A and B are shown apart, each in its own frame.
Chain A
């Protein structure tokens, strides 16, 4: 069976400024990969580049979804293949409501209403998307849209940042649903990447693999909770030290 997503030696830039360098990652259905890293290190850039969003320019490498390269595809075709992104800070689209978007996507009105109600967003269905939404409402709106979209590959950008404890419980439950945590592992068809710096969504999710992204490169990888514990204890210090050694080796080999 082909992996859901393969990222191979991916190098990404904005104009001529490099952002990501030589990133490799393979995600199978049922797997959750978690990306940690300091602010501004390229975590969001990675998942936005997978989605095909501007201004990210693929310099080299490949991204394959279910075995096929998607780099030539526009954003909407990637979405229709089954890739879904929850934005960390979605833009306000004042003139388009959730109801209008749902209608345009052919989503059943009742399903939209039921899912929105479960997420406490039923009062927001006819409001402009993200227009005046609080941080927590934005997160719920993003996950609601993914519930309706039902992607195979989930790209969640800081899904828990800036939300209170009660909302976190709700959001974690939705993320578990999105990743089909109620199904036996073998039956799961959905996988994805979660970008997080708090790690608080990881407790119940049993993520498959964790990475630390520093200066656009994956410097450490391993069991997500171990990495998270290390970060909680020492910040990114251990990984940065490791990264510096790797950097020196890299420079040495380069000659």
Chain B
């Protein structure tokens, strides 16, 4: 019986089954079966995609409107499924959901291929904090998680989307995400992956309309044998739109491609990107690819990138205060990954802080 083990795994990705932490809604998908879909808020719909396609036919019209089904073999695979599993989230107009909603995608059966299509819609003026955890039930299994997610942040709405990946060493992960942020809307994405995985590649695209804002924060700790190809693209399409991409990468015996692309396409647009990486050993590879593209003169785009090992003088300095070299290194890495995210509720920031603590404790570097 692996039930208690699963519970443990879910907590690690921010999914609270105990009710200790207030949640407005919960969704749990085990392989491709929805085990939990509940909401405590009338103005927040939390459902499976299979049911949503039946109950709300308009959902079908949203599918594939932000992600091209022909993008690559993985989108084609999702498109080839007639009724793929997934999570449907709908926040009604003007609803400001106080407590975070949570969803979890659990890869339970060994060597399973989880193929998903998710739709998230925030109607005008609504607000939601969503935490999504993706994990495998045990560390011995292999599998694939292939997910198309389309996110609609309507006029003046705000979504903070915190995604935690905690996979197994043999799992392949291929999320394909498209976001539209309509006039005056805000989309804030926090992506956290701190455990071993075979392969993750994800490069979501946010299209931002007038006065809208999109931010991508990534906190990655790539461990032995992992390959990450992670990034974010922001298309500043509307007048006065804003975009920011921040990534913090720590790599040991692994390879990470850290991408970022901000396109300024209209007047008074601003974008900024920061890609910072720490290499822990000679078997690590970090390839930072920050790209800025301006197709309108009145746009302001900037980036900074720094990749390297921890400076010896910093380690020596902390050691001169009494920390061992390992403790000094861990303290620097913990601080490096500890990005305080603006606009995130304290409860979710706490989840992220705890995950970093756990990752560091487990690694005992």
- Chain A residues with CB under 8 Å of chain B are 51, 53-54, 74-76, 79-80, 84-85, 87, 90-91, 93-97, 100-101, 104-105, 128-129, 145, 149
Specify the chain B residue showing the minimal Cβ separation from A126: B340
List, sorted by A's number, 13 A–B pairs whose CB atoms are closer than 8 Å: A53-B316, A74-B319, A76-B328, A79-B321, A85-B320, A90-B317, A93-B317, A95-B335, A95-B336, A96-B318, A100-B334, A101-B318, A101-B321
CB-defined contacts of A93 to chain B, threshold 8 Å: 314, 317-318, 332
CB-defined contacts of A96 to chain B, threshold 8 Å: 314, 318, 331-332, 335
- Answer whether residue B324 sits at the interface, using C-beta atoms and an 8 A cutoff: yes
Q: Kindly state the separation between the CA atoms of A95 and B328 in the bound complex, as whole angstroms.
A: 11
Q: Kindly state the separation between the CA atoms of A97 and B336 in the bound complex, as whole angstroms.
A: 11
Assess whether A149 is in contact with B322, with CB atoms less than 8 Å apart: yes
Q: Kindly state the separation between the CA atoms of A75 and B312 in the bound complex, as whole angstroms.
A: 12
Q: Kindly state the separation between the CA atoms of A224 and B322 in the bound complex, as whole angstroms.
A: 31
CB-defined contacts of A87 to chain B, threshold 8 Å: 317, 320
Assess whether B316 is in contact with A104, with CB atoms less than 8 Å apart: no
Q: Kindly state the separation between the CA atoms of A51 and B321 in the bound complex, as whole angstroms.
A: 11
Q: Kindly state the separation between the CA atoms of A54 and B313 in the bound complex, as whole angstroms.
A: 9
CB-defined contacts of B324 to chain A, threshold 8 Å: 76
Contact of A75 among B320, B332, B336 (CB under 8 A): B320
Within the complex, what minimum Cβ distance (angstroms) separates A26 from chain B?
Answer: 23
Specify the chain B residue showing the minimal Cβ separation from A104: B331
- Answer whether residue B54 sits at the interface, using C-beta atoms and an 8 A cutoff: no
Contact of B319 among A79, A84, A100, A128 (CB under 8 A): A79
Number of residues of chain B lying within 8 A (CB) of chain A: 23
CB-defined contacts of B313 to chain A, threshold 8 Å: 91
Contact of A149 among B312, B317, B321 (CB under 8 A): B321
Of the candidates A74, A93, A145, the one having the most CB atoms from chain B within 10 angstroms of its own CB is: A93
Within the complex, what minimum Cβ distance (angstroms) separates A58 from chain B?
Answer: 16
CB-defined contacts of B334 to chain A, threshold 8 Å: 95, 100
Assess whether A91 is in contact with B311, with CB atoms less than 8 Å apart: yes
Q: Kindly state the separation between the CA atoms of A145 and B323 in the bound complex, as whole angstroms.
A: 13
Q: Kindly state the separation between the CA atoms of A53 and B312 in the bound complex, as whole angstroms.
A: 10
Within the complex, what minimum Cβ distance (angstroms) separates A128 from chain B?
Answer: 8
CB-defined contacts of A51 to chain B, threshold 8 Å: 320
**Chain B positions 317 through 349: 1 when the CB is less than 8 Å from some CB of chain A, otherwise 0:** 111111111011001111110100000000000
9 A-B pairs with least C-beta separation? A95-B335, A79-B322, A75-B319, A76-B319, A95-B336, A91-B313, A96-B335, A93-B314, A80-B322
Q: Kindly state the separation between the CA atoms of A93 and B321 in the bound complex, as whole angstroms.
A: 13
Of the candidates A85, A91, A94, A149, the one having the most CB atoms from chain B within 10 angstroms of its own CB is: A91
Q: Kindly state the separation between the CA atoms of A45 and B321 in the bound complex, as whole angstroms.
A: 18
Within the complex, what minimum Cβ distance (angstroms) separates B167 from chain A?
Answer: 26
Specify the chain A residue showing the minimal Cβ separation from B337: A95
Within the complex, what minimum Cβ distance (angstroms) separates A213 from chain B?
Answer: 21
Q: Kindly state the separation between the CA atoms of A80 and B323 in the bound complex, as whole angstroms.
A: 8
Within the complex, what minimum Cβ distance (angstroms) separates B123 from chain A?
Answer: 38
CB-defined contacts of A85 to chain B, threshold 8 Å: 320
Within the complex, what minimum Cβ distance (angstroms) separates B250 from chain A?
Answer: 11
Assess whether A54 is in contact with B335, with CB atoms less than 8 Å apart: no
Specify the chain A residue showing the minimal Cβ separation from B335: A95
CB-defined contacts of B322 to chain A, threshold 8 Å: 76, 79-80, 105, 149
Within the complex, what minimum Cβ distance (angstroms) separates B65 from chain A?
Answer: 41
Q: Kindly state the separation between the CA atoms of A243 and B319 in the bound complex, as whole angstroms.
A: 37
Within the complex, what minimum Cβ distance (angstroms) separates B306 from chain A?
Answer: 10
Within the complex, what minimum Cβ distance (angstroms) separates B198 from chain A?
Answer: 29
